[in-house]
Homo-oligomer: A and B are copies of this chain.
Amino acid sequence: MKRLFAAVSVAAVLAAAPAMAQAPDLVAVNGIFDQGFNHSEVMRTAAHLTDRIGGRMTNSPQMRETERWTQERFREWGLSNVRAEGFEFGRGWSIVRSDARMVEPRPLELRAIPVAWTPGTDGTISGEVVLAPMSRVADFDKHRGKLAGKIVMISEPTDAEDPTTPQFRRWTDEELAGRTAYVQPNHAPVTVSRDGGRDNFALRMDEFLASEGALGWVRMSYRDGGLLHGAGYTHRVGATPRLPGMELAAEDYRRLARLSRAGAAPKLELLSEVRFHDEDVNAYNVLADIPGTSRSGEYVMAGAHFDSWVAADGAVDNAAGTAVVMEAARILKALNVRPKRTIRFALWNGEEQGLHGSLAYVDRHLATRAPLGDAELDALPNGQTWRARWPVQPRDGHDDLVAYFNIDNGSGRIRGVNAEGNVAAAAVFEEWLEPFHSLGATTVSLRPAGGTDHVYMQTVGIPGFQFIQDPLDYGSRLHHTSIDSYDHLKPEDLRQAAVVLAGLLLAAANSDEPLPRMPLPTRPTPTDPFTQ
């Protein structure tokens, strides 16, 4: 069904735009297969990023080493114009050690991780817990006067979940076929919050807890099974909270909540030893090129964010994508390709806190957006107002970037491309994917894929795409968790992904015509006509 549908699409578009069709260079594909399957370095790259460097929080010492090491690799492989491009991010933060124990009513080691960008405990702190769930400012009043000297449990405990679906899966052909249909976008009105959203709530809660004399706070992991995350967002200079916060395993948190409700007065000992790193508040994207031989200025780009959280080693999110992008660079360079257009490889920083690195690149090189004309709002971090600002204001380099491919969905092999509603590009992708059908990369979907670094490209009319990857156990148990380590990477899948990516990059760099674009985005009409 999918194949038939695809064939119809291609035929329809080819009739309208015959110049776009171009047979893939199968000899080049042979070279890519050879480098990618017989001389792969992708797992060696991934092992260094995960086992050796470990979790790579933006602006942490581990990320500084990653910024250095990735550039060194690109240079060793002979890429050109290898460089780091800085953007303001905030403070670095890293964990030295941590521990959490229940000491009353009985001794028990708990599973815990410091919440990112909260301060340490300055030695072990010890106190009774108090269950005081809060998720908005209005909740503070309920707990006022009860928190002094306490460790505050800020999450409402939820019931355990029953894992009734397999954690690990691959797309079936039927499921892939089901993804090809166009999905109409939903345009809700974009609102801009003056109080800065989640960062601000974290800071207001911190202020409240500190003023109440609380010792610190713990929250519940949002996944069962003892998994931890530790995500936090208060990384801006001057926005560091006063109290330490730790995340507890759901099972440990729920036990504490039950004991507390049953009157057993559980008491905790918490140790969080963390460091802040303020030497440089800039984070750096790493860029490297294979220069084009003609069509001066035009380039195609592949990117992946190379920062991660620190509950484990940031393997599937996103050493996987990083290693695939780097491997595609290595493959193409090893083949000594001479593409018409430049091929650029980008490793984005600060993705986990809001796609900061790719937005910085977009704003610097591709397009910006008009200010709102409200001094307070226009002083907010770029990403907080970006979507509310119109019109898009293309920069000089806007037309140069003809296609952007992003990888950030774990270590599952590439099963196709999400064409983001770009029907004309979809028809081209059908052609370009042909040599990779035998690797399982068959599907062109018109769907959008959100949540990662191609998104800001899309907001300014750059053809930016994320691949369809086999989901494996990315979303179910690895994404941002304490078990996101090298063991759960799939070597065959990552080799395949690097081969497919290298192939598409080369096709995009050498095609006679640039990949078709969507019209430059303008303010959408709200889907619900009764909103404004």
Is A109 within 8 A of B101, CB to CB?
Answer: no
9 closest A-B pairs by CB? A160-B487, A163-B167, A162-B168, A251-B485, A163-B168, A254-B487, A226-B483, A164-B168, A251-B483
Interface string of A125-154 (1 = CB under 8 A from B): 000000000000000000000000000000
Given contacts A52-B264, A105-B52, A483-B226, contact A488 B255 (CB under 8 A): no
A485 and chain B: residue at smallest CB distance:
B251
> Which residues of B have CB within 8 Å of A476?
163
Q: Does residue A166 face the partner (Cβ distance < 8 Å to B)?
A: yes
Q: Does residue A227 face the partner (Cβ distance < 8 Å to B)?
A: yes
How many identical chains are in the complex? Answer: 2
State the CA gap A357–B95 with chains docked (Å): 46
> Which residues of B have CB within 8 Å of A251?
312, 483, 485, 487-488
> Which residues of B have CB within 8 Å of A107?
95-97
Residues of A within 8 A of B (CB): 47, 51-54, 62, 95-99, 101, 105-109, 111, 113, 159-160, 162-169, 224-227, 249-251, 254-255, 258-259, 262, 264, 312-313, 472-473, 476-477, 482-483, 485-488
Q: What are 7 residue pairs bridging A and B, where the CB atoms are less than 8 Å apart in the complex? A: A97-B101, A162-B472, A163-B166, A226-B227, A226-B482, A251-B485, A255-B485
State the CA gap A312–B486 with chains docked (Å): 27
Is A165 within 8 A of B166, CB to CB?
Answer: yes
> Which residues of B have CB within 8 Å of A106?
52-54, 62
A61 and chain B: residue at smallest CB distance:
B106
A53 and chain B: residue at smallest CB distance:
B106
> Which residues of B have CB within 8 Å of A483?
224-226, 249, 251
> Which residues of B have CB within 8 Å of A488?
160, 251
Min CB–CB distance A247 → chain B (angstroms): 13
A478 and chain B: residue at smallest CB distance:
B225
> Which residues of B have CB within 8 Å of A227?
225-226
Is A255 within 8 A of B486, CB to CB?
Answer: yes
State the CA gap A168–B106 with chains docked (Å): 30
State the CA gap A476–B166 with chains docked (Å): 11
Min CB–CB distance A82 → chain B (angstroms): 25
A253 and chain B: residue at smallest CB distance:
B487
> Which residues of B have CB within 8 Å of A159?
487
> Which residues of B have CB within 8 Å of A166?
163-166
Is B313 within 8 A of A255, CB to CB?
Answer: yes
A472 and chain B: residue at smallest CB distance:
B162
Min CB–CB distance A419 → chain B (angstroms): 29
Determine which residue in A97, A98, A106, A111 has the highest number of CB atoms from chain B within 10 A of its CB, and name it: A106
Given contacts A255-B313, A259-B51, A486-B258, contact A111 B108 (CB under 8 A): no
